[in-house]
Structure 1
Amino acid sequence: MTASVESFFDAQTGTVTYVVHAGRGSACAVIDSVLDYDPKSGHTGTVSADRVIRFIRAQELTLQWILETHAHADHLSAALHLRQQLGGRIAIGEQIRIVQQTFRQIFNLEPAFLSDGSQFDYLFAEDEIFHIGALQARALYVPGHTPADMAYQIDDAIFVGDTLFMPDLGTARCDFPGGDAAIMYRSIRKLLSFPETTKLFMCHDYPPEERAPCWESTVAEQRKTNIHAHDGVTAEEFVAMRTARDRTLDMPTLILPAIQVNIRAGALPPPDDNGVRYLRIPLNVLR
């Protein structure tokens, strides 16, 4: 059984959402969905997610898995909206508990918030095998960007999350709480140890002006041309580069709202006694 991949690019956040299936009428998985969010007004929306929903319904697919590669800092997850509309199970790696524990303290979240991963329907162990209908998949543990990053190997493709970008952009940052450039290097080499023809699908693209957005690469292309992690780059060189580069980067625009929603599996914070939901902004805490 061969996997088919449908991609949905959200230009506002540079995020790619994937629907992976085995053909019309089959089971499917959605990887890294996007909930629209306007930081100026605080309004949420489902335009991006509804594009995915329309495709799934048009192809008569059954949503089995709603997969997150990690708790994203650059967009809000639409996982809960997808589950409400189409069913399925929201899943992430079991190390999400570490991220929840860290950000529960940073945001001083309500006592009812549990940092045990129970907001998600399923937590994957490292290298765990699972199925999307007739398709076999494997959850690969690739920490470094955060302590909880996962990649998903399905057929001859790997959905790498934020560990790798397109070769001309390199790799993701490692300066978020719990990030580690040395661990990221090992995760990158793990991904690049797969056969050279293995397709790699990125979670993001932030294209320079001279090219259009793209998000599909191969192990061979990454090993040859990734500007940060091509063959021959040592662990020491990578850590030095990544550490110096990360010092120059601004925090993502949506990190504060995104993390609060994404560690809840796409749920918004519970409403206050006036019925309104609020996001918390910790002052002078994050760099």
Structure 2
Amino acid sequence: MTSPAAQDALDHFLTHTATLAGASENTILAYRRDITGYLAFMTLHKGAQQGIGPLMQISVPDMRSWMAFERGDGLSARSLARKLSAVKSFYRWLADREGFDPTAVLSTRAPKFQTKLPRPLAEDAAKAVIDTVEVQAREDWVGARDTAVVTLLYGCGLRISEALGLTGEDVPLPTSLRIVGKGGKERVVPVIDAAREAVEAYLRLCPVEISADMALFRGVRGGPLGARAVQKVMEQTRMQLGLPATATPHAMRHSFATHLLTAGGDLRAIQELLGHASLSTTQAYTQVDTARLMEVYNKAHPKA
């Protein structure tokens, strides 16, 4: 059980992270879950509730014990690295507030894991998805809606949450959109003609009169369209086209980035278009591009 003092500190840290750092609701929930689990382990490990004083005295062996416990409980290296990152963020804030040396925690190394590369679609497959997604719908307006959403994901590199976050105030779509992405980070995204035309086609058929403060994309029952509905129609589309399970809505965004890079796009410009905080995140696409080139090369020049 977490001590009242530790719980109070955690609540203040989460408030700070949400308001000043602009973290998303999902990030805050994950931080609360991960740090609470860490505090619960230390209570059991030390045999007493961990107030602020004991938390300031956590040692390297204590950290190793926690990580060994998590790994022994079946946690993957990637998930443990995420939990450790949350704990370190908490300790940086706590050390700044309480004035102690958090080196024992901050020096703990995250377990190594293989970074998963994005799995983009080939250009013809991405275009086939856009052409096919509408036939999954029973009503014309729903088909036009799904086409518009998927076109925004691929044509503008939007996250699904960003596409579904558009409102009536955003239409007619301008030549560029100001998008607020993860962590409140803003970016300007050019809007291609195909995306504007797809949204206009949807609006002409949509039975709901969309006011400025309403979500642009509507569900069949009239409420805002949810991400699960888009994921479901992508599942149906990829099965019809014989595409792999990696052909998800987010794969359309990956495809946008990879195809821009293949066409000679500048990596830094693509970073800005995607809203990545770090260039290292965008650099994963160079690995995808290289992997594809090697695959083509190996097929053309098989080893004897």
TM-score, normalised with respect to structure 1: 0.24
Report which of the two has the higher share of strand. Answer: 1
Report which of the two has the higher share of helix. Answer: 2
